[in-house]
Structures are given as C-alpha cells and as structure tokens.
Structure 1
Amino acid sequence: MLSQQLAQQRAESQDPPPPLSDPTPAPRGSLIDAAIDQLLKDQPSEDDVNYISKSREKSDLIRLLHVHVECNDGDTLVIVDFPSGYLSCAREEWISKRFCVHSEKLLATGSKVFANLLSSKKQARFRKRLELAGEILLQKFIIDLTPSAEGDDLAAQLIGLSLPPGVTDWWTSKERLGISPYLVSGHDDHCPHHDEVPIDCVNKSAYIEQELGLRERLPTIDLVDIETIKSRTIDDYCPIRHRVNIVRLLLAIEGYDLVLNSASRVYTLTSIASILDCTRVIRDSVYTWLLAEPNTEFIDINAEVAFKIAWTLEIDSITRAAFRILVVEKALDTLAAQPPAEKNQYTIFGRPRVDLPDDLQTVIQYAAQKLADRVHQTLAKFRSDQFYEVFEISEYRKFVEAGDIIRTAISTGSSPSSVQSILKTDSKRDKLLDRLLDSFSTLYTKLQEYKDYIIQTATHAVAEYDQQSAYDRDRRCYVEHPRRIPTSIIASNFTDAQHLLTPWFWVYLASYPVDYLGPCYLVDFLTPYVDDFNDRLIKATPYLPHRGSSNKVATRFHLENFRIELHVAVTNLWTAWTSPDLEVSLTRTQHIVLSLSEDEFQYLPLWAGGLNDGSGGVFQSTVPDADLGPIGPGPAYRTGNTVATDTSSICQSDKTPSEASTATLTAGRSVNAVPSNMGPSTVHDGTSVSTSDSRISFTPAASTAGSTATLDRDDSDGYESDDSDEIDEDAWSQVEEPLT
C-alpha cells in the first residue's frame, strides 16, 4: 500500500523520470524521489520466483503499522496498548493500536474468550471505563486485548509465550539445511537493528564451510561454528512480539493474509491462539508451514516443540509423527542399563530436550513404558523355544509334529506291519527309533542354538559405514561437535532390549538366512544335522505310522523350504519395525525405529487417533481378559491364573474408546465402564498381524482414528461429578458374568 501511494505521488510530480531508453542519468530530485528509488530498489522483480513472498512480508508489516487505516468499518473496537520505545523493521515506533473488526467473525471462531468479552457484563465494564476517560464510542462493542501487566495471567502467558532455544535459533536452518528464507528468516517484530540482521550464518571457520559446502552434505555448518549475532539474539519473551501477534491474529480472523516467516512467529501465534481459544484460525497456515519441504525437519529436530504446537492446534498427523520420536527416545532411556546422566537435557543420541507441560509429559511417559514392555516381551519371545512357532513356519511345524509321531511310536511300541508286534521286542525297531529321536533332539537343539546365535549376533551388530555416516550427518543438525559421539559408539553400550529400537538390528536379523557368505548362514549351520535326521527318518519309516493310519506321517525336514520361510518371516518383521507408514516425512530420525502399536497410540486424544477421551481411563489398569474366565460367581470379578494386564502386550490392542474407561469399585475391583455414546473411531490404513494369545503380533499398526467432538474445556477443568464411582451390592448383582 505504501509503495503504491509513493508511486502515485511520483506520477503526479512535475518532473517525471526520464524514459528507460534514455541512457542519461536521472537528475537529482527531491527527498521523496530518493525514497521512492530506494523503495523500488528493494522491491523484487516480478520475474523473481520469490516475488510473492517478499511482497507478502512488506504488506504484512505495513498493514500492522497502519492497522487503524486498514480496519475501520467493523462494529467492534479492538484496543491493544503498546509500551513505548520499541521499533519495527520499518524504523517506525510501535504505538498502541485501535482498530475495528466484525463481531460476527470473532464469534464464528467458536472462541469462548471472545464470546465472554462480547457479553453484556464485559461490555458494560469496557464502555464505562472508556467513557470515564472522556472517549466518544461509536462502535457497538469494545474489547481490550492488551496483555495483563501483573498477576497470574501474566505469569501464565510468560511461560506459554517464552520461546525455546530451538525456535529462536531456527533461522540458521536457511543456510545449514537449505530451508527457504521466507519460512525461517523473518525478523522479530521488535527489530531496532534491521539493517544488521543477517540472513546467512556468520561462520567462525572458513575451512569448515569449504570442507562441508556441498549441498548433498547438509548441514553445511556445524552449530559450534556459528558466531553469536547480536541482531539475531532475541528475547525469550518480548512484549512487542506478544502484542503484534495479537493484532496479526485478529487480522487473520478478518480474512487478511497470515504471513508465517519464522519459527518464533509460528510458536507465538500458536500460544496466543490457544489463549484466545481460536486455534482453528491459524491451524491450516501452521500445518502448511510445518509441511513445507524441507522445513519438516523442524519436527525431527524440535520434536517437543512440534508436538506441543500440533497438540495445541489439533493437527493429528504432526502430533502422531512427533509423538513417535518422543516415545521411542523415552523408551530408550527406560530400557537402558542405567539412566543416562543427562537424560532431562539430552536424548540418548544427543538431541536437546525441551520441557513440556505435565499433561503432555504424562502421555509420553505412559506410551514409552508400554513400548518398553512390548520390547521386553518381544525379546523374551525371541529367546524362548517358541521363536519359530511365532512366525508360523510350516516346515518347522511339520518337524515338531514328526517328533510327536516318533515319541508316540516309541511309547506304544507298535509297528504298522503287525498288530501283534506290540507284544514283541523288536530290538532293531527300538534301536532305529531311539537313534531317530536322538537325531530329532539334536536338530531341535541346533535350531534353537541357531536362533539364539542370530539374535545375539544381531544385538551386537552395527550399521554399515555409509549408514553410520548418514546417521552422524543427521545428528549434526542438533548436536554440537564437542558433544558429538559417533552413533556406533553410543549403540555399542546399548542393552539387548535397546537394540530392538534401532534399524540395524532388524536389518541384520533379516539378512542372516540369505547371507551365504556370512557366519550366520542357516544352511552352513544346520546341514549336517538335517542330513542326519533325514537319513535316520528314512531308515525308521517302516516302524512309524503309515498313511492309512489315523496319525499324521513323519516327513523329511526340507532345509531350503525352512530357510525361505524364515527369511520371508524376518523380512516382514524388519519391514514392520523399520518402515512404518509415517504421517509426515521424517528425515533426520532414521537412526531409531519409529513403529508404534495401538497400545502406545492409545494415550493420544481421539482427534489424533488415540483413545484418550479425557476421562483418564487409558491411564488405568484394565480388567483381565474375559476369555481367561471367572472361577466363581459373586460380586467380585475373580479369575484363576492370569497374566498381568497393566503391562503392554506385544499383541495389538483391541481396545475401543468406550472400553478404555473403567469404573473402580470400593475394594479395588473394576469393570468395563458402560460404553459411551461417542461414535466409533474410524481406523485408517495400517499394517497389522492378528495372532493367537500365545503368539506375537510383530507389526506395530499405525492405525488412526477419525476426529470426534472434543470435551468442553470449561466442563472438564476442575469439574467434580456428583456421581460416585462406588457401586453397591444390589447394583453389582445386576452385572452379567463374562462369557466363558
């Protein structure tokens, strides 16, 4: 607008500039001519691909400085008082703002804050205060959005609006990570040193820049090599930033363009929108900012901040993606032999951590414990003799059945050649069957030894050199050189359980059955024992049940079929753990496994595909499965020998939102709560393997649930229900016994 006004004034001047074809320099003109020349020089060419972005930033600044001119026809007067002495990028001082908006647009946001401010009681107070000050009010409504200067409100807003270090430093990602300056390089709203604010980092060492200057080797500059720049050092909390973004949010409600050119602006606007209860206004814009490639790396590098922003704005995909990172990182701490020394400041791989509100921390901690339980149970199954049964390998199942046939033949002493042979002693038969059983036992033991060997070898494996370099390069985005330890050294101190949350464990486990040059090649390991078993089986076949018998027939062990089936099974397992269907692209977190199951995702809210409906049910221990069966009637739910249900099963959860809540009885008993009237959640595409209770579901499904109506915050916060959780005996007697 300002540029158009200046251009119009110049067009009306008496001394127009010479034509472009005239090589003669333009004569020295007035100050306004000089200002216009400078303004036009700053304007990008329309051929520039960034023309629109540059124009948006300038329009945004001019609109904020002169908002009273832009917005003057609404029925609601908005007041935002500013402290004095603060300059903008245009070198103009920020002054208090009074402008008009439309009350129907404020109410259309669904904000209870705006509804309260526009209520008769609040309006009478605002109007009386201004009338006492001698002001003449022409608008129908008045709202004062000036932040509190004292009290609890100020303290809460200072906490909510204080920028984490990863946000204030994100401007460096323009050069380090190749992110567009129109997403990350914007100046702070209080900008007294506009001309001195750099776009690129100031590097301490030219050698580092030359050595790592290749684009394919991003990040190009190490964090420790970036000089501290005064003009880029902004306060955690700034009263001008606070107020300007209140105005910016009101303009967005009015339908004006919302320019998000820095992480600090995104974070501040999110917090203000939450305070004013109108997060829907900025949700799409923030979502677009987070997903603009390669700015998605903000999620990997600042996972806590991304999680908080997405949770506040109810962006399901970003919430789930950041949640994956935070849960796995927390589970790695839980699975460690000893708690990491600086676990509150840094993750086990060195990523700086940021404090989250208690409610978000609780969600992450519960999910991380569930994941840790699942990892422990998976490892226990790997080490048990059920390893091959878990994968449902038919060749192994037939082998186990052959063992049963052999033992039956020995115990009955029967031979298919004669019914009367049971009364006779056949030393040849006994000798052949005994040798066959010995050979079976030896092969069975060797199969278990092979399984133990490949599991143990996989837990001590390290990533290939090129992959290690890629992991270390990704970690350079957030770990300074003095603190940086190679990924391979960090992993060398992992427990066996921690290794299950690394991709290289699964890569090696899947490769062993086909790596004919490696020490874990199955054929080399088992061939002598398989040949011995098959030879003795052929010799003992006349003394085993034949095809006419009601029993099954003992068959040869086909090693190649077994190898193929095992390879397919562990390959599927590798894919399930290391290649989840991510909601958004995560490119800097490839050194950890990000597959979560429904048991971990259940702690997320309903709108994010979880089961957390606000009742707290997902954080309570659930009732033992009904199929375990009650062992007696009466009011108490009693079972026989059961497994603990307050720890995560490796199997996929079958819980629904209505089943997650439980009613607790006076004696510590609990039953499934009455199903709520909420609609069923919609499960989206996810990969899942359904197994019996004795088997493992190794595929952590990435199912999501459809958004449903959220609880009324005013009704839930501090709400005490008059209904008691206690159930008397008469009521309890009406509860049906579970089906057996």
Structure 2
Amino acid sequence: MAYFQEQETDEDASYDPNIEEDENISKLDVLRFEGADTIVFIDPPSYVPNRSLQPQSEASIPHYVHSHTLLDTKSPYFTKLFDPRRQARMIKRSEFLGNLPDGIKYVINLTPPSTDDEAVAFTTELSCPLGIRTWTRELSRLDLPVDCVGGEDEGIETEGGSKKSALPSEYSDSRHRTGIVHILQALGGVNPCLDTPCKLWTFFALAKVFGIATIGHIKIHILTWLYDGTNACFIELHPEITYRIARGIECDYLCQDSFTVLVGEEALLRLANAGKPPRLQWPEVTFHGRQREPLDDEDRQRIEYASQSLVDRILEEFIQLTGSQMDWLLQLPSTMMISRHIDDCAEHCSLASDLLSSLKLYVRGHIVANMTRSVDTRSSRLNHYIDPCNYPEHDYTNSYKNMRYVERIISKTFWRTVRGEGYSDCLRKPDEKFRDMTIADLGGHLHLFQSENEAKLSYVSLEDILRAVNQFNNHVDFDSPKFVQREWGGGDIFIEKRGGSLPDLDSDIETDETPEETATESSMASVFDPIVFLQQVRTSLGDLTERMAKGCRQGAHFKLTDTITCLTNNEFRYLPLWAGGDDDGSGGVFTDQGIPNLETGGFSMPGPAIHTGSTAPSTTSYSNIAPSEGQSTVQCASHKATGSQWADVVSLVSSEGHAIEDESYGPTPDEKREDTEDTFIDMDTSADDFEDYFDTDSEDNDTVIVGTPSQSDPIEETSELLEHMSLEMEAGSK
C-alpha cells in the first residue's frame, strides 16, 4: 500500500510572515509507498528560518519510495546517488543518525542545488519559455481543458503592475521542488498533477536533467498533456517549444507534427523573399505574424534544408498541374481516347489536337483563376480564434490577399479552392487581365516558371469547349450525340447531352467542319463526353488538393496553420533516425544535397552535422531563394525511399506520343494585385484527443491510495503502452 499525505499547516506562534510569498514551498505531497526501501529528502530553501524545519513541518518530512523505480531508469544521475560511498555519507548525515527505519536501505537527497554550476544548469533548464508562461491566457479563446491549464502557478509576477497580465515567473524554487515530487509520482505509476503549462515544462525539464525524459512513465504524461483536446493547438501556436519537447523525449510523431509547422512557415518566408536581396538574419516573425521562438543553429538548419525541399517539390507539383505539358490531364480515361485516335490516324488530326489544346487551356484557366482570387485565409471563419493582441491577429485573415500569386501555392487556402464548385459544369474563368499572360508571368523570378512561357492563360469558355467537342465527335462518328450549354435557375450552367445524328439537332452551336475533315471512324476511337471529362478533372484535382491540405499523418489536425503541412520523406529526411529521418549524425543527409552559397541565396551554414560551432541560437542563420535555385536538389534518401505526392494522383506519362498544342509566347504585362472576388472559405477540422492511461483512486482529500506494484517492470509496461499508441497512429495513417 502506498499513499500521499498532505500535512496540516503549522500554526505555531513563531510563524515568520517574511516567508509568506513562498508559502507554497511547504505544500508538497508526502509520498509513502508500501514496501518502500528508500528515503528521499527534498529540503526547503536555505533562507527558510530554522524554526520552521522542525519535524512537524511537512517540508522536512522525507518521502518513501522504491529504489528500483529510480534504478530501473538506467539514469546516470540516479545511479550515482546509490553509490555505496555516497550512501554511507548520506545515512550518516541524515536525521536518523544511522538508525534507519525498518525496511529502509537507502537515503538520497534530491534537494535542488543552490550554488555552483549545477545550480545554474538546473535553473537554466527549468526556466519556462514565454510561450509556456502565457499559454494559460488562451483558456477562454481556445476553450482549453481545465485539467491542463486550470491550476495555480507559484511565483506569479505582474507586467506593469497589472494583475490581469500576471505571468508565472520563469523559474520558481517551489515549482522546482514540486516538479521533483511529480517525477517521483510518475516513476511510481501515479498521475502527477500537471495542471499548468509551467508545471508541465518543469516536469519535462527535470526529466531531461535526470536523464529519464525518454522513458515511458515520463513521456506518457507529456504527450497526454500536449494532445489533450484543444490543448493540441499549442503545437501550432508554439511549434518551437513543442519541437524542443519532442526532441527531449524522442517522440517521433510529436517531432514530425511540430517540424511540419516550422518547415511550412519557413517555406512561405523563402518564397516571399525569393528574388530579393538575401536576408542574413533569421526572421523573428512568420509571414502570418507569429512571433518565432528560439531554436539552436542545428535545428534551424534542418528547417532551412527541409523548407527548400518543400518549396522545390510544391513548385514542381504546380508546374506539372498547370504547365504546358499537363501530363496528368492526358492520362485521364476521357482524354486518352483522343490520344488513341491520333495514334490510329494515318495523318495528323487537327480536330483532336485543337480539342486537347482547348481542354488544357480551360482547366489551366480554372486553376489559375482560383490562384489569383482574393479570398480570406481558410481558417478565418473561426472568429473565436482571432484575437486583437495575440496570434493569430486580425491581419491573419487578410494575409492570403497580401501574397504574390506564386506564394499562394504554399497556402492551404489556395488548394482548398482549386477543386471547384460541384453545382455547375462550368469551371471558373481567369480575370481578363491574364488573357495575354502565361504561367511564366506568374513567377518569372523562379527558375521553374521561366521555362513555362508556352503555357498560355488565354480564356476558353465552356461554349468554345463544347463547339470543339461536337466537331471532334462528328469527325469520329457522324451519329454521335451533341452537347450543348444550358443555364438553369440560379445562374448555374450545365451541359446537356442530346442524342441523334448531327444534322437533325438544333443549331445552338455552329460548326466549321468541311467534308474534307470528316474521316472514317477509327476502330479504337469513341466519342468524347465533356460531362465525364469534367467529373474526372474534379476527382483528380480533389484527390490532389485533399493531400495538399492535410497533415503529414492521419492523426495530425491543424486548425490554424495555413501553410502546407503535407510533408513527405523528402523533408523529414533531415530529422534524426529516431524521428523517422535519415540523419545518423554523419552529415551525409546534408552533404549529398549540395551547399548553395549564401551570397547567391543559399543556406547560412553547411548543415547540422558539418559545422563545428556552438549550438547556441544564431542571428545569422537565414537565406533566400535565388533564381538559379528553382530546380530541386533533392536526391535519393539513404534511409527511406522518397517520392512526390503527384505519384499518388497520376502516373508518369507513357512513352507513347500524344498531341500537344503549340502554345506560343505572348506579351508580359506587369502583375497587378486586384480583388476579383471575395469568397468565404469553409473548413472543418478537429483536434486529436488522448485518454489518460493512469487511473488513481482517491480516499478523502488528503490521501491517495495506490495499489502494490506488480512484479513486472512498470517502466517497461508504460514504454510498451507508448509504443502501442504510436503503432495505432501509424496504422491509422496507412
């Protein structure tokens, strides 16, 4: 049997009011585990008056724990405490004067050091980042779980004398001592009360100092806190802190989730600064206005390399989608029959070639029309998330409108609009000002776009498409049905299919066909159905855009992040092996990518495993994209195979020849930002909930009864539980 006992407050007349500010120091739960063989002292601070250190003071009452819960962690810090020589000194110096209670074999002292380098190290590690200290302020706005942020923190300090803006202090001696008790509770299989962000950070930081942050009994409580309902928003709003926690506890999916946010934000900044003079400092604010928090140079460079890989990949995706080739469109079943007809004809069929050219112009125009629309950022409809002071601010709503067209490719808002409306057969048309432009004009400062000066943006109407369809179908089969455009109530436009031979149909759409252009029907050809074609286009675009808008795994849900979160192995390869990356510490994952020169827009330093400087944060770790860097430098991964998501939507074009229209280069007017249409983006997302895996039975308000520890290793059991959680999440993503 084990229990925690909270002693009654000492009401001795000699109580010193000078220690009133530190009254929480003495409010530690006292641990009593049945069959305990180890006494743990956590003494109060040296500045507490001696008269308060009497046995009746709870701060001086030792904790009774099992030695194996500490030794089984394999922690060098704990192992050293059980050294025989040290034990002999501790027992001699203890209040028991060598006469240990029955069953007690060891005495250890976990009192926080107060002098020397060890005290500085503890204070540095346990000092809470600003994002941790301010997180409780989001309780109402984000509807955070009370179990995570509803507690009281020690060491409250005010800003400008305002009680409303009170913040917990960076470091609190009493919070330090409470954190030690929380560690002992977790190792004993009992839930620690991590009901404030500062307690969570102190628990994590102490685990790092003790060398036990990666064991199951510690990780489970940290992960439960971070993924508890809406508290998971912490990953998006403070990804640097989350990333540091993930690296400390070596959790692969938490590391990937936070890394995803950081890489997407950096990718957008790189695109926004492309073609501009290199910036030698790491930007302190993201494009959307989030204050970036400290990271060391090693992790910043991982983000730089991964963001460049992401930019290359997404730009290539867009060029494949809208460039002059548009192979994905030629791979649709409805368009492949046109290609088969061309292959089967003895002479070049101009009608088929013109139809393919018109279809590519029509679909490309729809994609670009959505790219150039001025809409609100996708999650702006969640008004309770928008705050006048904290990120995301009101400017976040208009950030998409302030992007250059090419920058919008990294935004989820763009990809959510590409699929098009399902209530009309008519695709969206680009603005008139783009009539004489090409894809190259949208991003001429990037290498990949410079080669797309034949991908025209000339507008093709649905009526033009149907005219070309009817001409081709009549050429293939004289008795083919005719397709006409009809407008129904509400202004929606639909395609109507009419059967019968062409001469007997209404003359809604005139044809310029001559008898010389009519040929015998090919045995492999069939009529082209524009209704089916548009359905296939929407399906293909829908599959691609869903992948672009989702996270890197099924369990990752991002409510506020508007940058792309669909990272692949191309980007994750820069993470350590334990996080699913390819970095084994040798530096090979960075050296095989080439190292662009900073003066031409390259990275600030070679890579984490190459440079030999300090890992302290640097202010000169940033770079831009030069025009010559538009081509991807991603090569084969040494740990996992990599590939583009485009392979999930369409296969590469076959070696068979297909008709490709001749799209000539047109004039290049200056890009002008104008609001062509205001649109409301509707997005539904959900948070990921985790259950609490430790059940604690309470008796009264002062004592918690814990069952007798089993013979099996509790730490190993919890590790297996965490591994099971991870496997379930991976299985869900597959």
Structure 1 distance, partners of 2:565, 2:344, is: 44
Query: Which residue is equivalent to 2:550?
Result: 579
Residue number in structure 1 paired with 2:540: 569
Match of 1:629 in 2: none
Report the counterpart of residue 443 of structure 1 in structure 2: 355
| 1:352 matches 2:291 | yes
Which amino acid is 1:485 matched to? D
Report the residue type matching 2:170 in the other structure: D
Match of 1:252 in 2: 186
Counterpart amino acid of residue 647 in structure 1: T
Q: Which has the higher contact order (CA 8 A, sep 6+)?
A: 2
The Cα offsets for residues 664-689 of structure 1, whole Å up to 9 and x where unpaired, read as xxxxxxxxxxxxxxxxxxxxxx9972
Equivalent of residue 657 in structure 1, options 633, 639, 645: 639
Query: 1:133-172, aligned counterparts within 5 Å?
Result: 136=98, 138=100, 140-149=105-114, 153-172=118-137
Match of 1:558 in 2: 529
1:178 corresponds to which of 117, 139, 143: 143
Deviation of 1:593 (Å)? 3.3
Aligned partners of 1:289 and 1:295 also within 8 Å: yes
For each residue in 1:608-665, what CA deviation from the matched residue of structure 2 results, as whole angstroms up to 9, or x when unmatched?
4444444444334279xxxxxxxxxxxxxxxxxxx9997248xxx8x573789xxxxx
Q: RMSD over aligned Cα, in angstroms?
A: 4.6
| Inter-partner Cα distance in structure 2 for 1:127 and 1:468 | 59
User: 1:364-396: per-residue Cα shift (whole Å, max 9, x none)?
Assistant: 333222211111211222232331436721222
2:258 is matched with which residue?
A: 322
Determine the structure 2 residue equivalent to 1:365: 304
Distance 1:405 1:150, change over 3 A: farther
Deviation at 1:184, TM superposition (A): 0.6
Aligned to 1:417: none
Is the Cα–Cα contact under 8 Å of residues 506 and 577 in structure 1 kept in the other structure?
A: yes
What amino acid is the match of 2:324?
D
How far apart, in 2, do the equivalents of 1:324 and 1:659 lie?
Answer: 19
Question: Contact 1:325 / 1:594 at 8 angstroms: preserved in 2?
Answer: yes
Q: Aligned match of 2:648 in 689, 695, 698?
A: 689
Task: Tell me the amino acid that sits aligned with residue 446 of structure 1.
Answer: S
**CA drift at 1:312:** 1.8
Question: Judging changes above 3 Å, is the alpha-carbon distance between structure 1 residues 325 and 390 closer, same or farther for their aligned structure 2 residues?
Answer: farther
Gaps of 5+ in 2: 13-22, 430-459, 478-514, 595-628, 655-715, 717-734
**CA displacement, residues 101-149 of structure 1 (integer Å, 9 cap, x when unaligned):** 332210112323222333356557x559949x99647464444434444
* Aligned amino acid, residue 205 of structure 2: S
Between Structure 1 and Structure 2, which shows a larger proportion of helix residues?
Answer: 1
Q: Secondary structure at the match of 2:243?
A: helix
2:415 alignment partner AA: W
- Shift in Å at residue 694 of structure 1? 6.1
Q: Which digits, 9 at most, give the CA deviation of each residue in 1:503-536, with x for residues without a partner?
A: 3322322116864466439734512222333445
- The corresponding residue for 1:45 is none
Whole-angstrom distance in 2 between the partners of 1:343 and 1:693: 38
Q: Which stretch of structure 1 is more off in the superposition, 470-479 or 391-400?
A: 470-479
Change (3 A) 1:479 1:444: same
Work out whether 1:458 is the aligned partner of 2:370. Answer: yes
Provide Cα deviations, 1:260-284, integer angstroms capped at 9, x if missing partner. Answer: 1100110111011011111223221
Amino acid in structure 2 at the alignment position of 1:321:
D
The answer (yes or no) to whether the contact 2:334–2:528 under 8 Å persists in 1 is yes
Aligned counterparts of 1:381 and 1:546: Cα–Cα separation in 2: 31
**CA pair 530-104 structure 1, distance change in 2 beyond 3 A:** same
Q: Which residue of 2 aligns with 1:302?
A: 238
Match of 2:633 among 647, 658, 661: 647
Counterparts of 2:165 and 2:61, CA distance in 1:
26
Q: Is the 8 A contact 1:179 1:295 kept in 2?
A: yes
Give 2:170's aligned residue. 236
| Offset of residue 591 of structure 1 | 3.1
d(CA) in 2 for partners of 1:172, 1:270? 21
CA distance in 1, matches of 2:179, 2:209: 12
Map of 1:223 onto structure 2: none
In the alignment, which residue of structure 2 is the partner of 1:479? 390
Alignment CA distance shift 1:691-1:230 (3 Å): closer
Which whole-Å CA distance do the structure 1 matches of 2:385 and 2:403 have between them?
Answer: 20
Mark the CA change 1:79 to 1:265 in structure 2 (over 3 Å): closer, same or farther: closer
Contact 1:300 1:586 in 2 (8 A): no
- CA distance in 2 between partners of 1:478 and 1:603 (Å): 35
Residue in 1 that maps onto 2:451: none
Higher-Rg member (1/2): 1
Partners of 1:75 and 1:141 within 8 A in 2: yes
TM-fit CA distance, 1:329: 1.3
Change (3 A) 1:604 1:442: same
Rate the CA distance shift 1:385–1:506 in 2: closer, same or farther, 3 A: same
**Kept in 2: contact 1:460–1:492 (CA 8 A):** no
SS in structure 2 of the partner of residue 657 of structure 1: coil
Q: Is the 8 A contact 1:578 1:593 kept in 2?
A: yes
Structure-2 residue corresponding to 1:278: 212
Q: Distance in 1 between matches of 2:529 and 2:132?
A: 59
Cα distance in 2 for partners of 1:239, 1:72 equals 30
Query: C-alpha distance in 2, partners of 1:473/1:168?
Result: 21
- Is the CA contact 2:552–2:567 (under 8 Å) kept in the aligned structure 1? no
Question: For residue 116 of structure 1, what is the aligned residue in structure 2?
Answer: 80
Residues 150, 376 of structure 1: CA spacing in aligned structure 2 closer, same or farther, 3 A cutoff? farther
Cα pair distance change 1:540/1:608, threshold 3 Å: farther
Which of the numbers 496, 499, 505 marks the counterpart of 2:405?
496
CA distance in 1, matches of 2:61, 2:330: 68
Q: Is the 8 A contact 2:143 2:230 kept in 1?
A: yes
Amino acid at match of 1:278: I
1:578-727 map, 5 Å: 578-580=549-551, 582-584=553-555, 586=557, 588-589=559-560, 591-621=562-592, 647-648=633-634, 655=637, 657=639, 689=648
Normalising to structure 2: TM-score of the pair? 0.61
What secondary structure, in the 3-state scheme, does the structure 2 residue paired with 1:586 have? coil
1:366-381 correspondence to structure 2 within 5 Å: 366-381=305-320
Q: CA deviation at 1:575?
A: 1.6
Question: Take 1:358 and 1:143, find their aligned partners in 2: how far apart are those partners?
Answer: 38
SS at match of 1:485: helix
Q: TM-score, length-normalised on structure 1?
A: 0.60
Letter in 2 for 1:561: V
Q: CA deviation at 1:473?
A: 4.4
Distance 1:344 1:156, change over 3 A: farther
2:312–2:631 CA contact under 8 A, matched in 1? no
- CA change 1:178–1:492 in 2 (3 A) is closer
The Cα shift of 1:692 comes to 5.2
**Which residue type is aligned with residue 470 of structure 1?**
R
- 1:180 CA displacement: 3.6
Percent of matched pairs sharing the same residue? 24
Note closer, same or farther for the CA distance 1:562–1:525 as it changes in structure 2 (3 Å cut). Answer: same
Contact 1:503 1:578 in 2 (8 A): yes
Give the alignment of 1:64-213 within 5 angstroms: 65=28, 67=30, 73-80=36-43, 82-84=45-47, 98-120=62-84, 123=87, 127=90, 130=93, 136=98, 138=100, 140-149=105-114, 153-190=118-155
Once the two structures are superposed, residues 405-460 of structure 1 have per-residue CA deviations (whole angstroms, 9 ceiling, x without a partner) of 44xx23xxxxxxxxxxxxxxxxxxxxxx7xx52x4443333233224322321211
Partners of 1:599 and 1:260 in 2: how far apart?
37
Distance 2:340 2:230 in 1: 55
Give the whole-Å Cα distance in 1 for the aligned partners of 2:7 and 2:174.
Answer: 27
Could you tell which deviates more after superposition, 394-403 or 560-569?
Answer: 394-403
Q: CA deviation at 1:293?
A: 2.0
Is it true that 1:507 corresponds to 2:472 in the alignment? no
Q: Work out whether residues 622 and 646 of structure 1, in 8 Å CA contact, stay in contact via their aligned partners in 2.
A: no
Give structure 1 stretches of 5+ with no counterpart.
8-30, 33-59, 203-225, 411-432, 548-552, 624-642, 661-685, 696-708, 710-740
